[in-house]
Chain A
C-alpha cells in the first residue's frame, strides 16, 4: 500500500494563478480531508468528504474548492491564489463509519508559496 500520496511536494505560484493539489489513497477509506498548517496554529480543516460525491466545508474553506468523484481521489483547487494561502497542505483519510477506530492517515504534505 502506498497509503496517502500528495503531489506536488513544492509549488510556487503568483497571485491570481490557479492550481490543483492532488491527493490519492489506496486504502479504500471513505473519509478524506484537507488541512493547512501554519506556524503556531496547528492544522486547520479546509474541506472534507465522507464519501464519493459528498463534500463539506471545514473551518477555513474560503478560496478553496474540492470534489470527490471517486473513493481514491480528493483534489483541492485554488481558483485565484493569494499570499494568505502560503502554507503547508496535508491530505488525510480514514475509515468511516468509525466511531472508535477513527485514526486519520496523513500524506507527506505540499508546501505552497504564493508570491
Chain B
C-alpha cells in the first residue's frame, strides 16, 4: 500500500534560519505529492504540490521538488519567520487509489524571534 514518512518534530528554529523537513513516500502507482500546512486552531491548507517527476512546487517562499529516483519530496525555505510556526503534512494522492490522500504524521515547526 501507499505510505508517507516525515521527520519527527518538533523542529525549533530561530527567525531567518534555513528550514528542511524531510518527506519520503512509497506508492503503488504514480502519485501526485503535496505539502499541507495547519496553523493553530485551523484546518489544513494546501501549501504546494507537484504532479510529476522533477516538478518543483513553490508558494510563500517554500519549495519542494518531486524526486522519483529517491521517492522524496523535501520541504525547504531559505528564511523562516515566526508566522511560519505550524504543523506541516506531506501527502500523496494516487490515481490508482481513487485520489485518496495518504498523509505523513506531520512535523511541528516552531520559529522563535
Binding site for B on A (CB under 8 A): 4, 31, 33, 35, 40-45, 48, 50, 56, 58, 90, 92, 94, 96, 98-100, 102-109
A-B contact pairs, 12 of them (CB 8 A): A31-B99, A33-B100, A35-B101, A43-B44, A45-B100, A45-B102, A99-B95, A103-B46, A104-B93, A105-B46, A106-B44, A108-B42
A98–B45 Cα distance when bound, in Å, is 18
B34 adjacent to chain A (CB < 8 Å): yes
Q: Give the chain A neighbours of B42 by CB distance below 8 A.
A: 108-109
Q: How large is the interface on B (under 10, 10 to 19, 20 to 34, 35 or more residues)?
A: 20 to 34
Q: Give the chain B neighbours of A44 by CB distance below 8 A.
A: 103
In the assembled complex, the CB of B32 is this many whole angstroms from the nearest CB of chain A, namely 6
9 closest Cβ pairs, A-B complex: A42-B103, A106-B43, A106-B44, A43-B103, A42-B105, A108-B43, A102-B99, A100-B51, A102-B93
Once A and B bind, how many residue pairs between them come within 8 Å at the CB atom?
58
Evaluate contact between A45 and B105: CB separation under 8 angstroms. Answer: no
Evaluate contact between A42 and B100: CB separation under 8 angstroms. Answer: no
| CB nearest to B94 among chain A residues | A102
Instruction: Tell me the interface secondary structure of chain B in the complex.
Output: strand
A91–B98 Cα distance when bound, in Å, is 16
Given A33-B101, A42-B103, 5 more pairs with CB closer than 8 A: A33-B100, A35-B103, A92-B44, A102-B93, A104-B46
Q: Give the chain B neighbours of A31 by CB distance below 8 A.
A: 99
With contact pairs A43-B89, A106-B43 given, residues A98 and B99 touching in the complex (Cβ less than 8 Å): yes
A104–B34 Cα distance when bound, in Å, is 10
Q: Give the chain A neighbours of B49 by CB distance below 8 A.
A: 103
Evaluate contact between B106 and A107: CB separation under 8 angstroms. Answer: no
Q: Give the chain B neighbours of A50 by CB distance below 8 A.
A: 98
A98–B51 Cα distance when bound, in Å, is 12
